[in-house]
Amino acid sequence: MISSFSFLFTCFLLLAWCQTLWGLEKSKPFEFQGQLANKTIIKGIDLLYDEQFDEAEILFHNVITDFPEKPEGYFYLAMVTWSRLAAGFWSPDTLGEYRERIDWTIQVAKSRIKHNVADSYDYLYLGGALGFRGRLELMKGKWLSSYFLARDAIDALNVCYKMDPNNKDVLLGLGTFDYYTARFSGFLKFLTYLLVHRGNKEEGLRKLHVAAKEAVYSSTEAKSMLIHIYLFVEEEYQKALQLADELAKKYQRTPRYKFLQGVSYIRLGMEAEYKGSVLHLREKSLLASSVREAGMWAKRALYLEAVHDLFHGHYGAARSKLDVILKGADPENDPAMIAWPLIKIGVSYDLEGKREMAMKYYRQILNMENGAGAQFLTKKYLDSPPKKNDTFIGF
């Protein structure tokens, strides 16, 4: 649940060639819109979006075993770690692993470029890895280092695009950069003037839509990016809903997209449909095969109801639901449902005009060992309290 302003520099660009998950005979590539795609890689990507991280980890370790001289396996492993972070599993060890895997990717890709054996995919992985490295620096507030990494990332992605103009996957990174540099203000806007690449919101959205429709490997990430843009930045809720509907149907082992679907319904005032999303989450909890899984779905149902209460001014009711989530806290398996309910309680007090009570909860998140990504939005609210209908109430 990392807020969408941190989606800058996202370049979830997954292109590769590897053998099957179990190390059997290499799977044959199939033709897809003029490009060769590998079914095993597609399966690995889907595992990540369904939050089956251990299974994806096995698959991508096999990629490194079979192709240790290429950057794709290292990049995929970094994406497994990033996905764990995005799911709320923040810890010094996980962050260290993430940096290590990203640096491996950069080192291997640069080595291929140095020895004149690089193809367009090597520049693609290099751009993606540099972009994700810059994204982490941005989250830490290190604007200058983030800027230099972003500049190098865009240079690499542009080389990739020039080498292979039919590559639609590269449009995810280029489109994201176009959109967010156009949205910058203040000091970040000043940094964009240092870049040769100028931001353009409409062009960024166009590229993201092309990637969502035509990219082989980054289609889902482009759709996910667009959901967050339309739901939390542009406030075009019908567009967000269409994409959330599609991904909720495809990825049914995670509550992520069903939750975003429910938030879209709330923002559109579609009460019956919103209640249907809550009911779906509860039914998934009842049908779960483990206590851990049941708790995950049940907490998202309560969390969605709390979001509904906050948008409708029922602050006490929201806190009651959030308190129930916190009483069943599971820091080992579901850390996101600790920090994020806490920030929502803080928001509820801010919206009631009780700033000191709100600050108490925000500070509690900053002092947590695992803030599950909520600390970034918390810092924003410490500087300036949220207003009624703040889009991030729905995050």
For the segment 137-180, what is each residue's pLDDT rounded down to a tens digit? Answer: 776 767 778 778 888 998 999 999 999 999 899 999 899 888 88
Q: How confident is the model at residue 248 (pLDDT cuts 50, 70, 90)?
A: very high
Region 79-85: mean pLDDT is 92
pLDDT at position 198 is 62
Instruction: Render pLDDT for 90-99 as a digit per residue (tens, 0 to 9).
Output: 888 888 999 9
pLDDT at position 373 is 82
pLDDT at position 88 is 87
Domains of the chain (ranges, CATH numbers): 8-234 (1.25.40), 248-394 (1.25.40)
User: What percent of the chain clears pLDDT 70, i.e. is strictly above it?
Assistant: 86
Q: How confident is the model at residue 266 (pLDDT cuts 50, 70, 90)?
A: very high
Instruction: Render pLDDT for 308-322 as a digit per residue (tens, 0 to 9).
Output: 999 999 999 999 999
pLDDT at position 11 is 33
Instruction: Render pLDDT for 195-235 as a digit per residue (tens, 0 to 9).
Output: 545 678 999 999 999 999 999 889 999 999 999 999 999 99
What gap in Å lies between CA 275 and CA 281, rounded to an integer?
10
Residue/partner pairs of 325-331 with CB below 8 Å, 24 or more apart: 325/299, 328/295, 328/298, 328/299, 330/292, 330/295, 331/370
Region 352-365: mean pLDDT is 96
Give the chain as a 3 state SS string: CCCHHHHCCCCCCCCCCCCCCCCCCCCCCEEECCEEECHHHHHHHHHHHCCCHHHHHHHHHHHHHHCCCCCHHHHHHHHHHHHHHHCCCCCHHHHHHHHHHHHHHHHHHHHHHHCCCCCHHHHHHHHHHHHHHHHHHHHCCCHHHHHHHHHHHHHHHHHHHHHCCCCCCHHHHHHHHHHHHHHCCHHHHHHHCCCCCCCCHHHHHHHHHHHHHHCCCCHHHHHHHHHHHHHHHCCCHHHHHHHHHHHHHHCCCCCHHHHHHHHHHHHHCCHHHHHHHHHHHHHHHHCCCCHHHHHHHHHHHHHHHHHHHHHCCCHHHHHHHHHHHHHCCCCCCCCHHHHHHHHHHHHHHHHCCCHHHHHHHHHHHHCCCCCCCHHHHHHHHHHCCCCCCCHHHHC
More confident site: 394 or 143 = 394
CA distances from 41 to 14, 16, 56, 172, 334 (A): 8, 7, 10, 18, 27
More confident site: 72 or 257 = 257
pLDDT at position 28 is 40
Region 5-19: mean pLDDT is 29
pLDDT at position 240 is 98
Amino acid identity at 112: R
Q: What angle do CA 180, 182, 186 make, to 5 degrees?
A: 95
**Residue 150 and residue 144 in contact, taking contact as beta carbons nearer than 8 Å:** no
pLDDT at position 64 is 87
As given in the structure block, the two tokens for residue 56 are 């994806």
Judged against a pLDDT cut of 60, whether residue 335 lies above it is answered with: yes
pLDDT, averaged across the chain: 85
Q: How confident is the model at residue 184 (pLDDT cuts 50, 70, 90)?
A: low
CA distances from 340 to 2, 3, 208, 345, 362 (A): 10, 11, 28, 9, 10
pLDDT at position 159 is 96
Judged against a pLDDT cut of 70, whether residue 386 lies above it is answered with: yes
pLDDT at position 326 is 97
Region 62-89: mean pLDDT is 89
Judged against a pLDDT cut of 60, whether residue 69 lies above it is answered with: yes
Instruction: Render pLDDT for 105-147 as a digit per residue (tens, 0 to 9).
Output: 999 999 999 999 999 889 999 999 998 888 777 767 677 787 7
More confident site: 395 or 371 = 395
Instruction: Render pLDDT for 15-64 as a digit per residue (tens, 0 to 9).
Output: 222 222 222 233 344 333 333 447 777 888 999 999 999 999 999 898 88
Region 368-385: mean pLDDT is 88
